[in-house]
Amino acid sequence: MAKQITHDLTYDAPASAVYAMLTDASFREEVCDRSGVLRHDVTVSGEDLTNGAHVRIQQWQSADGIPSFAKKLVGDQIEIIQEETWTSPTACDVTVTIPGKPGEMSGTVRLEEDGGVTTEHVELTITVRIPLVAGKIESLVADMLLKSLKVENTVGREYLAR
């Protein structure tokens, strides 16, 4: 089984400005800080698009507040590695892994500009390979992801308004 997530984030800025923001390590660090992660490491490379931009966000989140059945699987902290490969200023492939755990997310991000307003379309598939509880964990991850995207959208709007 797998769970599909589609979410749109909207910014009052051209796609080029949104792309520049999404490939700015300081923006990604600010999102991590506002999301309340325990610690993080952000790297961005290849911003010239000759070989495609690559964003890597490694973060450790507290497992506080997640159901006990899931906490038994992940422990007190959850390490998450998000990698984005921007193949153009408007298209990105995303993979998210939890090292040593039987699950991942993969999908795409697309930027579409209309009249100076840019919509960031996020489409991800969440897959957990644990018999009997996979669906529950996929739903839990989906809820956590949506909360994270809302924080990113808030920080992004503030970032672009500066």
- Which CATH code of 3.40.50.150, 3.30.530.20, 3.40.50.2300, 3.40.1440.60 fits the domain covering 3-161? 3.30.530.20
Output the pLDDT for position 90.
95
Output the pLDDT for position 119.
98
Length, in residues, of the chain: 162
Give domain limits for the chain: 3-161
Which pTM does this prediction carry? 0.92
The answer to whether 49 touches 89, Cβ cutoff 8 Å, is yes
Output the pLDDT for position 156.
98
Residue that has been written with the tokens 């809302």 in this structure: 150
Residue ranges in the chain modelled with pLDDT below 70? 47-51
Output the pLDDT for position 51.
63
Output the pLDDT for position 125.
97
Q: What is the pLDDT of residues 134-150, one digit of tens each?
A: 888 888 888 888 999 99
Sheet order of strands, 91-97 included: 3-11, 117-128, 103-114, 91-97, 77-88, 53-62, 39-45
Angle between helices 134-161 and 25-35 (to 10 degrees): 120
Output the pLDDT for position 68.
79
Q: Using CA atoms, how far apart are residues 127 and 106, in angstroms rounded to an integer?
A: 9
Q: What is the pLDDT of residues 77-100, one digit of tens each?
A: 889 999 999 999 999 999 999 898
